[in-house]
Amino acid sequence: MRKNTLNPIPCTPHLSVNIAGIKLDNPVMCASGTFNFAEEYSEIIDIKKLGAIVTKTITLEPRQGNPPSRVCETASGMLNCIGLQNPGVEEFIKTKLPFLRKCKVPVIVSIAGETTEEYCRLVQILSKEKGISAFEVNISCPNVRSKIRNMMFSQDSKATFEVVHQIKKFSKIPVIVKLSPNVTSISVIAIAAEMAGADALALINTPIGMAVDAKKKTPILSMITGGLSGPCIKPIALRMVWETFNCVKIPIIGIGGIMDWKDAIEFILCGAKAVEVGTANFVDPNVMPNIVEGIKNYMHENKIKDLKEIVGKLKINK
């Protein structure tokens, strides 16, 4: 998969999408945790070309994250057990948000807590700030556990309902709920989130995996297990987006191993209204602007005027 520099086409198709009231110029945004707070990549790419920025997940208090080693490569993918290292909400507002506001792209702040109260407190604090378009509620980080159930909120439909329902009471902006693939039935969780008032769903977060050093007879990651990402998870993600699309009405943001425009189109056909690109940023910093151009060319070639025309329009022969 080499870099393909595609020329913009004069007759521009309609790439803009509306996700729960947030207007995006195009459907391509970064996945939380793979773009930090946009400062680093802004040195290499034009951030204005993105549909939106999803920040690294913010917690109430600063988190130092897990000990090394935190990442390792696996076949067509990678594992991570970062553990939500972040400066905490106060520092985020003071030192990270001012730069994000200047990016002139919708900013979606990813938030996580160990209790429902923590999520609500975060929403209350951040709601006072200008320049935030939506929250992405991370209830699916495989490297932290909720204090109450010792599992992810998104692994239990009642817990998902409860946390989303409470957050919705406090949030004045759209709430996107990010779901975990580490569940028996994604539909059950997706419906719970929708019923609780989620404005959109983002899926998938990382499946839990593990890597072993045969020579040393040890796990490679310090936390033994970690979240798997990259092209190896795309088939799982596509299946879950398709399944979710068939059981909820709210918009879906597709995530999981998107490396190029073709992958993005696959997610859109399976029902995603927009996509998030994660691990691919590490491979090629230009990947997101290239995907936007690729989608534009695809639409032109297929005479698609508005992306809406193909959302969920997977042809099933029966």
Partner 1 sequence: MQVCDCRILENLRIEKDFFRMTISAPQIAERSEAGQFLHLRCNDSQRILRRPFSIHRVIRDRIQILYRVVGSGSLEFSEKKKEETVDVLGPLGTGFKIPEDIKKIIIIAGGMGVAPLLMLADKIKSIRTIKRQSVTVLIGAKTKEEILCEKEFQKLGFKVHVATDNGSKGHKGLVTDLLKSLLCTPYSVPCTAVYACGPKPMLLGTAEICLSHKVPTQVSMEERMACGIGVCYGCSVSTIDGYKLVCKDGPVFDAQEIIWD
- Does 40 contact partner 1 by CB under 8 A? yes
Does residue 141 carry a catalytic annotation? yes
Tell which positions 55-74 bind partner 1, by CB under 8 A. 56, 64-65, 67-73
**Contact indicator for 204, 233 with CB cutoff of 8 Å:** yes
- Kindly state the smallest distance separating residue 13's Cβ from partner 1, in Å: 28
Q: Residue 184's closest CA among 159, 157, 162?
A: 157
Phi-psi region of 119 (alpha: psi -120 to 50; beta: other; left: phi over 0): alpha
Site string for partner 1, 236-275 (x = CB under 8 A): ----------------------------------------
| Residue 63 identity | R
Sign of CA dihedral 106, 123, 258, 30: positive
- Establish if 225 lies at the interface with partner 1 (CB under 8 A): no
Give the x/- contact pattern for partner 1 in 78-107, rule: CB under 8 A. Answer: x-x-x--x----------------------
Q: Which residues contact 238 (CB under 8 A, 6 or more apart)?
A: 254, 256, 266, 267, 270
Smallest gap from Cβ 58 to partner 1, in A, equals 13
**Do residues 165 and 197 make contact, with C-beta atoms less than 8 angstroms apart?**
yes
In the set 120, 141, 232, 270, the catalytic residue is: 141
Please state, in angstroms and rounded to a whole number, the distance separating the CA atoms of residues 94 and 91: 5
Contact 188, 244 (CB under 8 A): no
Nearer to partner 1, 26 or 229 (CB): 229
Q: How far is the CB of 194 from partner 1 (least distance, A)?
A: 31
Q: What are phi and psi of 76, to 5 degrees?
A: 50, 35
Q: Whose Cβ is closer to partner 1: residue 75's or residue 316's?
A: 75
Q: Which is nearer to partner 1, 99 or 151 (CB)?
A: 99
In the bound complex, what is the minimum distance in angstroms from residue 238's beta carbon to partner 1? 17
Report the SS3 class of residue 247.
coil
| Per CB under 8 A, 235 contacts partner 1 | no
Cβ contacts of 149 within 8 Å, gap of 6 or more: 156, 159
CB of 161 to partner 1, least distance (A): 31
Contacting positions for partner 1 (CB under 8 A): 1-3, 33-36, 40-41, 43-44, 56, 64-65, 67-73, 75-78, 80, 82, 85, 220, 230-231, 279, 281-286
* Active-site residue list: 141
